[in-house]
A and B are shown apart, each in its own frame.
Chain A
Amino acid sequence: MPDAINKVTIDVTVNGRKFRRQVEPRMLLVEFIREELGLTGTHIGCDTSYCGACTVQLDGAPVKSCTMFAVQADGCEVLTVEGLEKDGQLHPLQKSFSEHHGLQCGFCTPGMLMASHALLTDNPHPDRHAIKKAIAGNVCRCTGYQNIIKAVEAVAAGAKE
């Protein structure tokens, strides 16, 4: 192991704001988001990309930020849960998760929101199966998933009207 690790300069846009930072090449994207930027809504649950608590969007696609290096996000746009609220108004998905009790401890919630947000961006009218597939890589230990599905369905139904 080298005595000093050479840092690499990266430019990453997070929630619409550009950041230039010097990071260790081995720093994970989730560590960059949590430690460098202080955005702690993105969580670490399993270290092996099974649980999806670390899900963010990279150039619009949901990714597991514990399984990517920060340097791989150089030049990319990242959206985290903190970027969902706008003008003090919660995103409809955030409201719906609360209304339908789609969260209990709230630890998986940011990942669930980012995965389902990516789904609705691609497909505003998903059916139940499509919703399940979209969050198949996100583990929730509290809700049994029932109300999470309901919360996403309600937003999708709202978009139809």
Chain B
Amino acid sequence: MEMKFSGQFEVSPPPEKAFDLLSDPQKFAPLLPTFDSLEMKDANTAVVKVSVGIGKIRGTATTQMTLKEKTAPKHATYVGTGKVMGGAYTMISSYDLEPKGSGTLVKWQGEVQLVGKILSLAGGGLRGYAEQQIQSVVTSLQQAMSPEYQKEAAARKAAQAEKKSSGWMSGLMKKLRKHEESAPAAGATADEAVDAGVLLAGYTGPAMTAADATAVVSEPLHSFARNGDFSAAVTAHQGDKWVHASLSRKEDGRLVRGRGLFVDDYKVAGMLHMGLVRSPYGHARIVRIDTSKAEALPGVVCTLTGKEVAAVANPYMQIGPGEAQNIKDYPMAVDKAIYQGEPVVAVVAENPRIAADAAQLVEVEYEPLPAVTDWQTALEDKSILHPGLGTNHHWHGVYEYGDLDKAFAEAATVIKIGQLDFHRFASTPLETNAVVATWTPFGGVEFFCNNSFPAIVIQMIAPSLNLSIDQIRCKTMDVGGSFGNKIGNYPYMALAALASRKAGGRPVKWVETRTEHMQAGGHGSERAYLDTEVAVDKEGVITAIRAKHIDDCGAYPRYEPLGCVIWSQVLPACYKLRNIRIDFNQVVTNKGPSSPNRGYSRLQQLWFMERVIDICAHELGIPADEMRLRNYIRDFPYTTPNGCVYDSGNYPLLLEKAKELIGWDEWKQKQAAARAEGRWIGIGIGTTLDSGTNNFGQARIVNPYLPFSGNSEVATIKLDLDGTVVVMLGSTPSGQGHETTTAQVVADELGIRPDMVEVRTGFDTTFNSHGGHSGSYASQFAVTGLSAAHGACQKLKKEMKKLAAFALEANEDDLEFGIGQQGPEVRVKGTDRSINYWGLSAMVNINTAGQPPELADVTLNIRHVYRPPFKIPDTDKKFGNLTLTYASQLHIAVVEIDTRTYVPQILAYAAIDDCGSVINPKIVAGQVHGATAHGIGAAMMEAYIYDKEANLLTSTFTDYTPITVMNMPDLAYGDIETPSPFSYNGAKGMGEGGGAPLHTICAAIQDALFDKGVVVHNTFNPPSDIYRLLKNPNRSGFVKVERRAA
């Protein structure tokens, strides 16, 4: 197609001067709009680069500009040729100059020829675009030829040069030096000191004199780019492959500015605040509630009691079998409270302070009932928590594999171990549970929340509130840590929704206080291990284990009894024994309800197995490293006795690397020397697994009637109207960097850069990017989330190829993806024929006429559901593959126990990770660091401790003492990669970590004190407990070794 333009303009210089500028490509080219750079091929020909494009789809276009005709000072003609999206163009422009007064009249003509189908289709739009471009050339020419403009340009250039030298960094450094020289402001005036302080504070504007500023923003509007910081990180990366790059995160830009959007940061007009009155008793009947004084307080809108809730809502679905289905779990206590901190009355007020005042005015009369605070009392069933269940014994099942009798009969040694205990703790995310709920005029509820498994939660809440799922909008944005704990906050979502309904549909915000979180925000389950017997052959290889395990899940089962099967994902841990019998039980007690907690249910089993290994090793006199080498699984994929398939791994190599990293031999020598001096130093090893991507079919092992199986995760990907690649996920990241890793994967698939991919933050039911299993839990995103994104990319590429093949008149097989001069594009291999994403999107969304019917099914808006290839487990035999991938870690710690204070101190710590193929090494290392801190904290400092009346004694951070930097050793970190054969990318989920520090520190303490007769039997080892162990050494009664005649 061809386009013609013409016009005229006047300039002040005479024709000679005007011609001088017009006829010199070096002077003329920079006047082109979006001029980038220029290279002279000869005196008359310039190769000019201009940046082109719309929105994010930007690139540079190269035009060859030749001065074809030149008649001074009257006439000049340029011929330009170049490539644009989907085709090529030729542009001829000529200028005729005539004197007019003291100046010149310039008459110009332009002719543009375009070649290529897509350009023809988009012709209408291009004419406007071309006219605009030409007009800006003309304006530039006019300006360039006027003396006033020249002056202005010179001033602008000078100003820019000055700005460069007074940038923030150099300013800071100057001030820092000044600060140093004159510290503490001895030689400087007070003003200067203030000035220095202000500069360090990042504020150098003029001193404010206004007494009452109304806005917090005082800076002028700076130019901005979406993902500006992320683009800088991408640009800094060497190479064009993004998976496996240690890229800084896209999320960081908003978070380091304090501009993340956490639930409590969110405000809407008319928003109310909910406060809760909670039971001070662990177990008590509610005799009387009087809310009248609270309701009379100015600013209180309404109150809500358990009876009101029960009148309109249904109890939550129960997962447990049989009588467990009769447990009545409402979001608030109805007739009795069964744990300290259970909500009893909600108060809704205009601000949180009034809500707190009003909560204190609510009168509740209780009749205390006997509290059940341990599994022994629970099993006595003298005080029953749930009348519908009729017992406190919530679940029982036997997991038996192999031939136990034969293995024990043939054993060279049988080792019997006393009761081991896994204590109660949780990851206590720094952001507590929170929600804003609005009962909308359309009859549904909108939640802005920080739940980390929203897909299952909306399936729990909808039937409870008599809604259909489509009536619930649930969204998350930034989440301040979850570690599984936030899966359990849905009762509060429902309460806030009912409060909003009672308040006439005004939005209701609820933010948990820290003490509320500690009492009721979700605990990791306790577990007791009884009657443990281990069969060992004469080589020190464990052949069989039998034991009885009892979980204490607190007051309400909620996500339980899933923990009664989830542990069996790692039934034999890293060891090759084939004969195992675990009699598994779960009880309810008057403690805070449990929730999944980092390493959920598996770390309890892994700690048990590691304790068994170390206790056996010490009793048999086999070094701890040697004992592991004799027992490790070595061939992969490995099918465990209960049908789980360990995809890949190399545990001996992990051990070797960890020994290198910590300096094993050197520490062994130091340990021997220290012992000779009477010091107590131990070296401990912990090998662990992080099983990821659940087969929800395992739920049927705890209750065969449950309708779940397999797993699903969703990603949607589209080219937006301007061609921007937009990805939406079903996950709820809380620091794992999903926006970044997804952008890395999509960038590789499309041959573009991660900062050209928009990944939306958080989960939103309106994204239509979720399945019934969507969320962030159970170490799965690298497999489920990225497989969904990858699958969506494949479908999108298919559609893009179909469009491009038509537009470029090429075969689909001849097309490739990449970045061209106009940004992301599809091109014919080995040619310069291409179409960019804007062009592709235009064919579907903007310029849609003139296309053949074969393209009618193309939407450029793809939804892909990833479903791992699982089967339903055999529920009778409790046999089947329960998880898809098995990441592994091995930690080694050197611990010294102070001989006077009994305080254990970590002297050295090493962690080696294997999560298969790594997507972003920086993020993986960060996850290992974090999981290690949780484990060390739990092993040495953190515990939920209840008294006999079911009062939580550690209900503030001051009592619970989450690990700080002062208690954290410097970590030596390393990794190996054994790619998973079961994920498309070889990756394994790895965020949970598997609790290795618990195994490792317990092993190290035992190693330090074994010759004092101490066997570590509890995950929690504060100085007071170590003292007790040393005063009353337990080994002789705790471990019995029976050697059999050969």
Contact = CB atoms under 8 A, between A and B. Distances in A.
Interface of A: 1, 3-4, 11, 13-21, 24, 26-27, 34-35, 37-48, 50-51, 53, 57, 60, 79-92, 94-95, 97-99, 101, 103-110, 113, 117, 121, 124, 132-133, 135-149, 159
Name the residue among B213, B922, B958 with the largest chain A CB count within 10 angstroms: B213
A139 B255 contact: no
Interface string B911-952: 000000000001101100111111000000000000000000
Given A105-B429, A136-B966, A137-B964, 19 more contacts: A3-B298, A18-B211, A35-B351, A43-B430, A47-B514, A50-B957, A50-B958, A82-B258, A94-B256, A98-B248, A99-B248, A103-B252, A104-B736, A107-B430, A121-B197, A139-B962, A144-B929, A145-B929, A149-B965
Interface of B: 167-169, 172-173, 176, 179-180, 197-198, 200-205, 208-213, 215-216, 218-219, 222-224, 229, 233, 248-249, 251-260, 262, 264-265, 267, 298, 351, 353, 357, 427-432, 478-481, 483, 511, 513-515, 734-737, 922-923, 925-926, 929-934, 956-958, 961-962, 964-966, 968, 970-971, 973
B965 A145 contact: yes
A153 B926 CA distance: 17
B933 A144 contact: yes
20 contacts: A16-B208, A17-B213, A18-B210, A18-B212, A21-B212, A35-B351, A41-B260, A45-B514, A46-B956, A51-B957, A79-B201, A80-B258, A89-B169, A92-B172, A104-B481, A105-B429, A107-B430, A141-B427, A143-B926, A145-B933
Contacts of A82: 216, 257-259
Contacts of A37: 216
A98 to B, nearest CB: 4
Name the residue among B202, B257, B429, B481 with the largest chain A CB count within 10 angstroms: B202
Nearest to A87: B168
B256 A97 contact: yes
A104 B735 contact: yes
Given A92-B172, A145-B968, A139 B957 contact: yes
A74 B273 CA distance: 27
Contacts of A34: 264-265
Contact of A147 (B167, B255, B926): B926
B968 A144 contact: yes
B929 A39 contact: no
Contacts of B176: 124, 159
Given A101-B249, A141-B930, A11 B211 contact: yes
Nearest to B480: A107
Contacts of A108: 430
Name the residue among B209, B923, B958 with the largest chain A CB count within 10 angstroms: B958
A51 B429 CA distance: 11
Contacts of B168: 86-87, 89
B520 to A, nearest CB: 15
B255 A86 contact: no
The 9 closest A-B pairs by CB, nearest first: A41-B258, A104-B735, A106-B255, A107-B480, A105-B735, A144-B929, A144-B933, A88-B222, A81-B258
B958 A39 contact: no
A20 B934 CA distance: 43
A104 B926 contact: yes
Contact of A132 (B169, B514, B966): B966
A91 B199 CA distance: 11
B259 A14 contact: no
Nearest to A27: B353
B762 to A, nearest CB: 12
B219 to A, nearest CB: 7
Contacts of A80: 258
A101 B205 CA distance: 31
B262 A107 contact: yes
Contacts of A142: 481, 735, 926, 930
A97 B233 CA distance: 13
Contacts of A95: 229, 256
B478 A97 contact: no
A109 B430 CA distance: 11
A14 B216 contact: yes
A57 B869 CA distance: 54
Main secondary structure of the interface of B (DSSP, over half): loop
Name the residue among B218, B233, B430 with the largest chain A CB count within 10 angstroms: B430
A45 to B, nearest CB: 4
B430 A105 contact: yes
Contacts of B428: 141
Nearest to B215: A17
Contacts of B223: 88
Contacts of A21: 212
Nearest to A117: B200
Contacts of A19: 212-213
Nearest to A113: B256
Contact of B251 (A87, A88, A106): A106
Given A97-B256, A132-B965, A146 B218 contact: no
Contacts of B180: 124
A99 B248 CA distance: 6
B203 A86 contact: yes
Contacts of B233: 98-99
A79 to B, nearest CB: 5
B201 A16 contact: yes
Contacts of B351: 35
Contacts of B737: 104
Nearest to B200: A121
Nearest to A81: B258
Nearest to A49: B958
Contacts of A40: 258, 262, 264-265
Given A41-B258, A45-B431, A90 B229 contact: yes
Contact of B169 (A14, A79, A92, A140): A92
B789 to A, nearest CB: 20
B515 A47 contact: yes
Name the residue among B208, B257, B483, B515 with the largest chain A CB count within 10 angstroms: B257
A60 B229 CA distance: 28
B263 to A, nearest CB: 11
A105 B478 contact: yes
Contacts of A57: 201
B202 A84 contact: yes
A159 B248 CA distance: 22
A144 B970 CA distance: 9
Contacts of B208: 13, 16-18
B258 A18 contact: no
Contacts of B259: 41, 82
B447 to A, nearest CB: 19
B167 A101 contact: no
B262 A43 contact: yes
B264 A44 contact: yes
A86 B923 CA distance: 28
Nearest to A159: B176
Contacts of B215: 17
Nearest to A28: B353
A26 B353 contact: yes
A18 B207 CA distance: 10
Contacts of B205: 16
Contacts of B197: 60, 121
B260 A106 contact: yes
Contacts of B926: 101, 104, 142-143, 147
Contacts of B479: 105
Contacts of A39: 216, 258
A16 B203 contact: yes
A13 to B, nearest CB: 7
Contacts of A106: 251-252, 254-256, 260, 478, 480, 735
Contact of A42 (B173, B258, B480, B515): B258
Nearest to B201: A79
Contacts of A14: 216
Nearest to A110: B258
Contacts of A98: 229, 233, 248-249, 252-253, 256
